[in-house]
Structure 1
Amino acid sequence: MKILFQHLKKYRMQTILSTLFVAVMVASQLWQPKLLQQVLNAIMEDKMDEITSIGIILVAVAVVGLIAGIFNTILSAKIAQGVGADIRESSFRKVQTFSFSNIERFSTGNLVVRQTNDITQVQNLVMMSLQSLTRIPIMFIGSFILAMVTLPALWWVIILLVVLVVLIVMITFGAMGKHFAKIQAFLDKVNAIAKENLAGMRVVKSFVQEDNELKRFSDTSDKLTRHTIIVGTLFSVMIPAFMLVSNLAIVVSIYFVGDMVKDDPTVIGAIASFMNYLMQIMMAIIIGGMLTMMASRAFISLGRISEVLNTDADIKYDKDAPEEDLTGSVEFKHVSFRYEGDEQNALSDISFKASPGEMVGIVGATGAGKSTLAQLIPRLYDPSEGEVLIGGKNLVDVNKNTLRKTVSLVLQRAILFSGTISDNLRHGKQDASEDDMEKATSIAQAKEFIERQDKIYDAIVEERGNNFSGGQKQRLSISRGVIGDPKILILDDSTSALDARSEKLVKEALNKELNDTTTFIIAQKNFFCDSCR
């Protein structure tokens, strides 16, 4: 709740106005039955002047209530959307500070659900709260008192109605509550399975695993559906139960005041007013129950969002560290590293030093820790023991911008973002000119296929670069890595999709154009590392 209130502060004035509009709307709704009673009494007494004047007032009050309700809805929607956007931005900004280990702890699919579905639940709660939180107590208390004043003899009908409606709300919403957490959990699983299958569709099809994956998805989806149906069933039972109780209350009320109409025809107006207030009492309880149900689900979502926002990044940078130019020297001093939850070290007591401009090859079998070592240099992870130094400075003392400017990492799995080729290249250097792009793509042997595109560097890149081959994506990824002329370049098996000729040309270009750059080449084969240390 603390996080929600923090984001609502920005909309304090709009929230106050929204609450005032609710108060006007409820006052209008409470006044209308009394005016209706007066109109009916005037009809029974054949007072045409009163019918007209009171009728005009009744219409005016209804119109004022309608206008207040419209403005309340508009303000509520704006505030809810604004709060949702602010929380989404805060959450996304927080995720951007996470280290790899933070993200692995949550999982990508889980974070996506928290960024979308969970925030939508909170948005819905904010909107309904602004529309109903003030309305419920005013309407309930006001209708209760006015119903008592209108027909005091039927006080017991009011009490009975309240007790029955509250019981229905408690039973149904109480039964629903335990299913909401399960719905969120299964929603996470459904999203994760769908994401895995869409990303690995080629693997699924090549191993003819469509049926197995469909069964895995269907089993999880069925569990989600089962809990959702239970909630829907309880909700569908609740509404007819409310209608039954309200109709019984009306019938009982008419039965007990029927004889009074013979003696005083104006009692008809009182009955009409009384029944309106009964309906308003019931509606206040129903809306309160719905708000409670929505709140119970939203609080689960809010807790999941808070978990993200309150998670401290494993890797923290010294805010007071100045931006500076570092040399390309890299030194490991007795570095050991262990992944969270693992009992054994991925790296143990690693020590070496690479001088500026040196090309260092790291060759080894799968699982030997090559990529782990590479990811310690740009500080994607911190070592469990020992120190990693760049330009003679411990990474924990280096400014974040300095580190990102000094070190460039090109991963084996080439990740491209939707947009254009130039957009992707400018991830490596924001103010990159076309000359910078031509130089970088020439080094990566990407210039030839880029120039075959209709719009060259403004050619469209689809989601995850799906309109390019594996080799083309790797060459674009290398281009992005070298465009900023880094002091340290790490190629983590990033030429695995290139043919031998292209791989050789890339290496020659790196030696020629980036001879002052310290280059780490990680590979399973020795060919690309022949002249490396």
Structure 2
Amino acid sequence: MGILKPYLKNNYLSIIGAVISVIILAGSTLWQPKLLQTIMKAIIANNRNEVYDYGVQLIVLAVIGIIAGIASTFFSAKVAQSVTTDLRADLYTKIQGFSFGNIEKFSAGSLVVRLINDMNQILNLVMTILTQLLRIPLLFIGAFILGIITIPRLWWIEILMIVLILALTGSVFSHMGDLFARFQKWLDRMNTVAKESMQGIRVIKSFNQEENETKKFAATADELKNLNLTIGYLFSLLIPAFMLISNIMILLSVYFIGAKIISHPNDLAAIASFISYLMQLMFAIIIGAMTMTMASRGMISLKRVKEVMETKPDVEFNNNAGENILASNVEFENVSFAYPNASEDSLKDISFKVKEGSFVGIVGSTGSGKTTLAQLIARLYDPTRGNVKIGGKKLQSITAATLRATVSFVLQKAVLFSGTIEDNLKQGKSDATNEEMEWALDVAQAKEFVDKYEDGVKHRVEERSANFSGGQKQRLSIARGIIGKPKILILDDSTSALDAKSEKLVQQGLESEMKTTTVFMIAEKISSVIKADTILVLDNGELVGMGTHKELLESSPIYQEIYAAQLSRTGGQA
């Protein structure tokens, strides 16, 4: 609960209102049977004036209880909504600060569940605490004492009912915590399966895998169904059992009161009140048990959110360093890197230096470490050993703002967000002018199709950019990457969906418009980087060659092999 304290403090006035309302509500609920007993005495005595007076008091008390109940719900809901809204916003901010490693640790699907489903459970938890945590003990203690005061000789019936109900609820609810924990786990899994299926729908349809995916989802859904049924069965047993116990206690009360009515005539007026207190006792225990169950589910969700909030990002920036203007030369000093839980390094003792304004190609077979190396430049991960420097400074010594202003990373899989083309471009530079957007689109060869839209950069981008082709998405992604005129630009095979002519035009645009920018281009085709100032050749995580195209053809067997293979596939043109 410690994680909620700062959020609760911000709503202390509403919490005070909720507490006062609950006390008034519990008090009115407890006093109603007492007034009813007084009215019964007046009826037996045929005293109409007292019946009228106490009847009015009973109605007023009921109205007060209704108003207090409404106020309690209002204040509790206000606090619960405020707390969960602020906590969700902070959780989202925390996730935004995570590295790739942190995201992979939790999985994107699990983080989505924590942001939505777990937050709903925490909302219910806060609501339950404010409405029931104080009310249940007040009702229980008050009903127990007032019941004994009403008919002292039947105290043992209250004790017997409490013992039986507590024994029943304890045996059932002891299993609930584990069931709810398993429920959240399977909910995470179902979310992941559904997300992967939706994102990969084209692949699924291409390989006719609809039936297999349906079976996979159904298997997960069946697990959730079985857990829900188990929880439902346990609850379905409780209510009839509670009613049976309460009816037995009422039967015993009526029997013993009837047996002694001659010697205790006042019990006739008290029997209805005593039974009301018995029902309030049962209600307090049942609602208390339900509250504990809901609280256990909420506490599990709170624990899951706390786990994320207390996770230290793998990549932390020195925000006290101040803003700096970095040069665009890049240096790797004996850099090795292993992904979390990997058995071996993905990069092994990499060292090289790149001058400002260089065009650097990175080639190698699939899995050789090309993208991993580029991610270290953008500090999406930190190296396991060694140092990466930009402008002579270690990446750990500069602020996030400085690094993001210096380095721009354009991914192979172009990701555009729903909104407009303008919205996406301004992710690269929030205050970009129309002229800057025109320039970036022109360099990225995206202007030709954007200008065809009547609304231009105001054109809508649908969810997952479904209204754009792969090549269009890559060109818009490149435009977003260059609009801020970064000093270092990383292109991770970002022209793979373009035809040869468009790719050549993009490269020519970058060469002419971004002459001072250091460009790292990861390429599957050597033809894409054949004019590079330096080409890095990676194989199995090792830097096995470095030089110009001509130099590598003479000195690097791996490069020669890749080049020859591409020549053979393209009929003599790499």
**TM-score scaled by structure 1?**
0.98
For residue 468 of structure 1, what is the aligned residue in structure 2? 468
Aligned pairs, how many? 533
Q: Deviations over 1:354-404 (max 9, x none)?
A: 212111111111111110010111111111121111111111111210110
What is the alpha-carbon distance in structure 2 between the residues aligned to residue 200 and residue 484 of structure 1?
A: 32
Q: Per the alignment, in what secondary structure is the counterpart of residue 174 of structure 2?
A: helix
1:253 counterpart = 2:253: yes
1:234 match? 234
Residue in 1 aligned with 2:47? 47
Return the alpha-carbon distance in structure 2 between the equivalents of residues 222 and 429 of structure 1.
47
Q: 2:11 matched to 1:11?
A: yes
Instruction: Report SS of the residue matched to 1:363.
Output: strand
Q: Which amino acid aligns with 2:485?
A: D
Task: Compute the displacement of 1:322 (Å).
Answer: 1.3
Whether the 8 Å contact between 2:102 and 2:314 is mirrored in structure 1 is: yes
How many Å apart are 1:405 and its aligned residue?
Answer: 0.3
3-state SS, counterpart of residue 432 of structure 1? coil
What CA distance in whole angstroms lies between the structure 1 residues aligned with 2:264 and 2:305? Answer: 61
Superposition pairs for residues 334-373 of structure 1, below 5 Å?
334-373=334-373
1-structure distance, mates of 2:182, 2:395: 43
Deviations 1:284-303 (A, max 9, x none): 10111011111111111111
Question: In structure 1, what is the Cα distance between the partners aligned to 2:334 and 2:157?
Answer: 81
Q: Where do residues 263-342 of structure 1 align in structure 2 (5 Å cutoff)?
A: 266-342=266-342
Write the deviation string for residues 20-77 of structure 1: whole angstroms up to 9, x where unpaired.
Answer: 1100000000110011111121111111111111111111111111101101101111
The code of the aligned residue for 1:87 comes to L
Q: Is residue 428–residue 481 contact of structure 1 (8 Å, CA) maintained in 2?
A: yes
CA displacement at 1:262 relative to structure 2: 5.6
Query: Are the equivalent residues in 1 in contact too, given 2:408–2:486 (CA < 8 A)?
Result: yes
Q: CA deviation digits over 1:442-498, x for unaligned, max 9?
A: 111111211222321111112221221111111111110000010010000111111
Structure-2 residue corresponding to 1:479: 479
Whether 2:168 is the aligned partner of 1:154: answer no
Summarize deviations over 1:222-261 as a string: whole Å, max 9, x none: 1111111100111111111111111111121111112455
Give the AA of the match of 2:221.
S
Instruction: Give the residue type in structure 2 aligned to 1:525.
Output: K
Q: Which residue of 1 aligns with 2:165?
A: 165
SS at match of 2:495: coil
Please report how far the alpha carbon of residue 129 of structure 1 lies from its aligned counterpart in structure 2 after TM superposition: 0.8
1:74 aligned partner: 74
Whether the 8 Å CA contact 2:319–2:398 is kept in 1: the answer is: no
Q: 1:380-391 residue pairs with structure 2 within 5 A?
A: 380-391=380-391
Shift of 1:183: 0.7
SS in 2 for 1:476: helix
Inter-partner Cα distance in structure 2 for 1:39 and 1:147: 17
Where does residue 60 of structure 1 map in the other structure? 60
Tell me what 2:120 maps to. 120
**Offset of 1:4 from its aligned partner?**
2.1
Aligned to 1:32: 32
Q: Does 1:202 align with 2:202?
A: yes
Q: Where does structure 2 lack aligned partners over 5 or more consecutive residues?
A: 535-574
C-alpha distance in 1 between matches for 2:178 and 2:268: 46
Inter-partner Cα distance in structure 2 for 1:108 and 1:238: 38
Report the Cα distance in structure 1 between the residues aligned to 2:276 and 2:467, rounded to whole angstroms.
64
Measured after TM superposition, the shift of residue 146 of structure 1 is 0.4
* In 1, Cα distance between equivalents of 2:44 and 2:418: 73
Provide the rounded CA distance (Å) in 2 between the counterparts of 1:263 and 1:383.
89
Per-residue CA distance 1:256-296 (angstroms, 9 max, x = gap): 11245567765332001001100110111011101111111
CA 1:458–1:265: 2 relative to 1, 3 Å: farther
Q: CA–CA distance in 2 between the matches of 1:149 and 1:55? A: 22
Q: Which residue of 2 aligns with 1:509?
A: 509
> How many angstroms does 1:419 deviate by?
1.2
Instruction: Say if 1:44 and 1:266, in contact at 8 Å, map to a contact too.
Output: no
**Aligned mates of 2:472, 2:269 — CA distance in 1:** 81
Cα deviation for residue 309 of structure 1 reads: 0.6
Answering whether residue 180 of structure 2 is matched by residue 180 of structure 1, we say: yes
Which piece of structure 1 moves more, 278-287 or 176-185? 176-185
The alignment yields a C-alpha RMSD, in angstroms, of: 1.3
331-340 or 16-25, which moves further after superposition?
331-340
Q: Distance in 1 between matches of 2:261 and 2:425?
A: 85
Corresponding position of 1:421:
421
Give 2:137's aligned amino acid: P
Counterparts in 2 of 1:487-502, with a 5 A limit? 487-502=487-502
Match of residue 396 from structure 1: 396
Q: Secondary structure at the match of 1:350?
A: strand
Bigger mean CA deviation after superposition, 84-93 or 170-179: 170-179
Distance 1:453 1:263 in 2: 96
Give, in whole Å, the separation in 2 of the partners of 1:420 and 1:467. Answer: 12
Whether the aligned pair in 2 keeps the contact of 1:40 and 1:266 (CA below 8 Å) is no
* Cα displacement (A) at 1:5: 2.4
Does structure 2 retain, via aligned residues, the 8 Å contact 1:101–1:381? Answer: yes
Check the 8 A contact 2:109/2:192 in 1, yes or no: yes
Aligned equivalents of 1:186 and 1:530: distance in 2? 50
Greater CA drift, 446-455 or 258-267: 258-267
Task: Give the secondary-structure state (helix, strand or coil) at the position aligned to 2:344.
Answer: coil
Deviation of 1:93 after TM superposition, in Å, equals 1.2
Q: Which string of whole-angstrom CA distances, capped at 9 and with x for unpartnered residues, describes residues 314-349 of structure 1?
A: 111112111011111111122111112222221112
Paired position in structure 2 for 1:90: 90
CA distance in 2, matches of 1:219, 1:343: 31
Q: Distance in 1 between matches of 2:362 and 2:268?
A: 93
Please tell me the residue identity of whatever aligns with 2:340: E
Deviates more, 1:176-185 or 1:374-383: 176-185
* 1:100-122 CA distance string (max 9 Å, x none): 11111111111111111111111
- The answer as to whether partners of 2:151 and 2:267 remain within 8 angstroms in 1 is no
For the 8 Å contact 1:328–1:355, the answer to whether it is kept is yes
Q: How far apart are residue 521 of structure 1 and its match?
A: 0.7
Match of 2:458 in 1: 458
- Kept in 1: contact 2:361–2:529 (CA 8 A): yes
For residue 351 of structure 2, give the secondary structure of its aligned residue in structure 1: strand
CA-CA distance at 1:177 after TM superposition:
2.6
Paired letter, 1:394: K
In the alignment, is the contact (CA less than 8 A) between 2:360 and 2:520 conserved in 1?
yes
Question: In terms of mean alpha carbon deviation, does 10-19 or 475-484 score higher?
Answer: 10-19
